Structure 1
Amino acid sequence: MTRFFKVLLFVFAFFGSAPILYAQQIKDGETLNLNGLDVTFRILNKEVTDVKGVSFDKYKVSATVKNNTGKSYNARLTTYPSVEAIAASKIVELNCINATGAKLTSKKLDVNMNEHRIVVTYLTMNKEGKTVNSTMTITVGYYLDPGQTVQGEANFIVPKGETPQVNVHTLQ
């Protein structure tokens, strides 16, 4: 492996794990302040589910983020849809350490900012060959203004008798 790739691998490993280093544990009903973002985690529902003959606990959970920073978060897009656009929409990530991911359930919950959409009018040809105005709605960015709240939900399956062990960190 060349020296360049070794350095590149080190940089990705170091910076890729940086958000996890600053994660804080959050419990049901608790609110944490992460640099002015109030994150509240709640368990909405619990049920028992079987996966290949083994019982697990399935939790429906939600996370609410309120912007108390006094500033707006904005992410302008240059292209949509793209991987960068999806990443730009996320403001907080909650990771369930003991989630199994069974039955296509989540191991993490991303809370996204609000979509900023606009209606675009453009000229096009109709079936008769006549030029007409058409419209479409496109996403041009994401935002979270001061005082606004956003929410996300997920399902976590954890071993029977355990509650979700969740870490939270900001992505902005």
Structure 2
Amino acid sequence: MKKVLFFLLLAPLSSYAQQSIDLTTEHATNFNGIEYGFDITNERKMEIKNENYNRFELRVYVRNNSGCSKILFPRPTAFGEQNQNLLAAFLCVNATGKRLTSKDAQVYAGPFVIPYKQTVKNAEGKMTTTTTNIQVGHILKNGEISSENLTVIVPEGEAPRMKVVVQDLIEL
């Protein structure tokens, strides 16, 4: 009975699962009109504690090629409202993390604001109209690129093996 109850509680959370996609340097991956990829901007060999490694500087990116803007509205999550603007999380599977380098990077969308006009009475009793920008979510406009830099160290003779976890975006 406890197992059935446990799985019934987890069933709604599975609908929020994201898809993981393997990436290569040769070509980016398209998913629902959004291009996910990475570029190697710098590469060098280095020695750490008498072992040889390759150090790569990467640029991970998300490009909107869908023909329309994509918007992220605030959504309920099991852990509150954190990372509401997360577009994708990139993970280097074979990164060692040595020398305080990263193993992953996240790419975020910019804020989506709308102007709101309101008429208020000022201290003198006169009616004045003010415009306030209100953030209603986050947006990735058509053709826009959002990117982040990442430095990884991988074993000698290997290239970075990347995975991306994508978010489902709404068309606008």
| Normalised-by-shorter TM-score class | 0.5 to 0.7
Distance of 2:140 and 2:33 partners within structure 1: 12
- Paired amino acid for 2:3: R
Unaligned stretches of 5+ residues in structure 1:
119-136
Greater Rg over alpha carbons, structure: 2
1:48 to 45, 49, 73: 45
Shift of 1:95: 1.9
Distance of 2:51 and 2:135 partners within structure 1: 43
Give the fraction of aligned pairs with identical amino acids, expressed as a percent. 27
Distance of 1:66 and 1:46 partners within structure 2: 24
| Change over 3 Å in CA distance of 1:102–1:73 after alignment to 2 | same
Match of 2:125 in 1: none
Distance of 2:94 and 2:67 partners within structure 1: 35
1:75 to 72, 76, 91: 72
- Paired amino acid for 1:97: V
Q: How does 1:100-119 map to 2 (within 5 A)?
A: 100-116=96-112
Asked whether the equivalents of residues 93 and 162 of structure 2 are also in contact (C-alpha less than 8 Å), the reply is yes
Match of 2:19 in 1: 19
Distance of 2:9 and 2:141 partners within structure 1: 36
Q: TM-score w.r.t. structure 2 length? A: 0.67
Shift of 1:44: 0.6
Q: TM-score w.r.t. structure 1 length? A: 0.67
Q: Does 1:168 align with 2:164?
A: yes
| Change over 3 Å in CA distance of 1:19–1:55 after alignment to 2 | same
Distance of 1:104 and 1:46 partners within structure 2: 17
| Change over 3 Å in CA distance of 1:58–1:9 after alignment to 2 | farther
Distance of 1:72 and 1:144 partners within structure 2: 6
- Paired amino acid for 2:87: I
Unaligned stretches of 5+ residues in structure 2:
115-132
| Change over 3 Å in CA distance of 1:12–1:42 after alignment to 2 | farther
1:156 to 144, 152, 157: 152
| Change over 3 Å in CA distance of 1:83–1:157 after alignment to 2 | farther
1:40 is paired with a residue whose SS is strand
| Change over 3 Å in CA distance of 1:159–1:138 after alignment to 2 | farther
Match of 1:89 in 2: 85
Distance of 1:75 and 1:17 partners within structure 2: 16
Shift of 1:18: 5.0
Distance of 1:90 and 1:98 partners within structure 2: 23
Shift of 1:162: 0.6
Match of 2:3 in 1: 3
